[in-house]
């Protein structure tokens, strides 16, 4: 029976039952009074006797009983609605997946419960599938870390054997060792928590000297910039600038800026400026439209890392060039 039919029947029953019950009580009380109490009450008419107010009280009580019986059906419907409300809220939360519900009727509420059960089962399946994918990703990541570290170890050994022949180029040997160390550290950063989101990554912070870090990075990038005819300059307007941050993640951040300038800006000059607690990286390239939605991975990585390291990051771009500006939020 559908809800529409059920409540039509309920309404019809209420309309019919009320006058029938009142009429039945009235007739019953009149007959009872006539045969049992009228002679003892000196033939007082029913409507003037004590039985009449008693009949009114019985009328009221019978109406209360009818209202209670009809309200039971409404309460049953509201209970089911509240149950579905709570189940859907539990399903929308991240705390737990609710169990499927028992279907006790074939009306619209029963069909709605069946639909919610399908949603619960589908959500449970998706969560299990996602958990399996994350487990496979972690296994793949572990293998990838091993595969990357293996050739790095071999390169270190080969560099050790050829170091004697490169004695006249100590800076080259030192640079190669630094790059191998940098790649190894990046590989170690690919830990299990970091594969989910950048926001969930745990960063160990320490005091980092920005002039020293940027000077080292500029020396690293200078050769590639020279090949592409891009002038790379470093302007230091303060004696020292220390941030509580992570040196490896800062390198990733600035590497993406250097790479963006090298590959996409078509610039002829990049200036790195440290001034008043702020780091500016300004090029004179073609820029891009500020209202244009960029999907470049490099810009997204810059934004994500700046957020994780609690850096205030601004990006300005026009036809005259692009400016990256970073300021630490941690005092």
Pairing between β-strand 269-275 and β-strand 231-236 as defined by DSSP bridges? parallel
pLDDT of residue 328 exceeding 50, the answer is yes
Map tokens 């509580």 to a residue: 244
Q: Is the pLDDT of residue 325 over 50?
A: yes
> Is the model's pLDDT at 121 over the cut of 80?
yes
Q: What is the pTM of this model?
A: 0.49
The confidence band for 148, taking pLDDT boundaries of 50, 70 and 90, is low
CA separation for the pair 136, 268 (Å, rounded): 45
Beta bridge pairs of residue 231? 269
Question: Are 285 and 321 a contacting pair, CB within 8 Å?
Answer: yes
Kindly state the tokens that stand for 47. Answer: 């409507």
Q: What is the DSSP string of 140-209?
A: HHHHHHHHHHHHHHHHHHHHHHHTGGGTT-HHHHHHHHHHHHHHHHHHHH--GGGGT-STT-----EEEE
For 278-308, letters b (16+ CB in 10 Å) and e give bbbbbbbbebbeeeeeeeeebbebbebbbeb
Separation CA 109–CA 144 (nearest Å): 52
- Looking at residue 109, what is its pLDDT? 79
Please state, as a whole number, how many other Cβ atoms lie within 10 Å of the Cβ of residue 313. Answer: 16
Tokens standing for residue 45: 């008419």
For 153-162, how does the pLDDT look when each residue is reduced to its tens digit (9 = 90+)? 566 656 665 6
Q: What HEC string does 288-313 produce?
A: CCCCCCCCCHHHHHHHHHHHHCCEEE
pLDDT digits (tens, 9 = 90+) for 2-48: 667 777 777 777 788 778 888 888 888 788 877 777 666 666 776 66
User: How many residues are given for the chain?
Assistant: 331
CA distance 295 to 171: 38
**What is the structure's pLDDT at 72?**
79
Tell me: the pLDDT tens digits for 251-286?
Answer: 889 988 998 888 888 899 999 999 988 999 999 988
Q: Are 321 and 284 in contact (CB under 8 A)?
A: yes
């Amino acid at each position: 029976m559908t809800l529409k039919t059920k409540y039509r029947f309920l309404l019809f029953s209420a309309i019919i039952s009320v006058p029938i019950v009142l009429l039945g009580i009235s007739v019953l009380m009149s007959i009872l009074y006539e045969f049992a109490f009228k002679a003892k009450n000196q033939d007082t008419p029913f409507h003037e006797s004590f039985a009449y107010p008693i009949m009114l009280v019985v009328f009221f009580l019978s109406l209360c009983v009818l209202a209670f019986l009809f309200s039971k059906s409404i309460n049953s419907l509201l209970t089911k609605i509240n149950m579905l409300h709570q189940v859907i809220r539990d399903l929308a939360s991240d705390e737990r997946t609710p169990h499927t519900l028992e279907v006790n009727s074939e009306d619209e509420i029963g069909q709605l419960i069946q639909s919610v059960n399908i949603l619960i089962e589908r959500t449970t399946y998706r969560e299990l599938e996602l958990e399996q994918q994350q487990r496979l990703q972690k296994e793949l990541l572990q293998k990838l870390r091993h595969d990357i570290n293996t050739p790095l170890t071999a390169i270190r050994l080969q560099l050790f054997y050829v170091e004697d022949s490169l004695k006249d180029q100590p800076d080259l040997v030192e640079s190669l060792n630094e790059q191998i160390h940098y790649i190894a550290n990046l590989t170690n950063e690919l830990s299990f928590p970091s594969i989910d989101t950048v926001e969930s990554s745990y960063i160990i912070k320490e005091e980092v000297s920005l002039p020293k870090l940027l000077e080292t990075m500029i020396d690293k990038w200078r050769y590639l910039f020279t090949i592409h005819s891009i002038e790379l300059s470093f302007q230091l307007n303060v004696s020292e600038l220390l941030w509580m941050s992570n040196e490896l993640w800062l390198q990733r951040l600035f590497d993406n800026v250097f790479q963006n300038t090298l590959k996409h800006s078509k610039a002829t000059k990049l200036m790195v400026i440290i001034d008043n607690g702020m780091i500016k990286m300004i090029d004179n390239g073609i820029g891009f439209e500020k209202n244009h939605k960029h999907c470049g991975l490099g810009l997204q990585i810059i934004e994500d890392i700046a957020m994780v390291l609690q850096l205030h990051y601004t990006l300005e771009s026009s036809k005259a060039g692009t400016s990256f500006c970073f300021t630490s939020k941690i005092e």
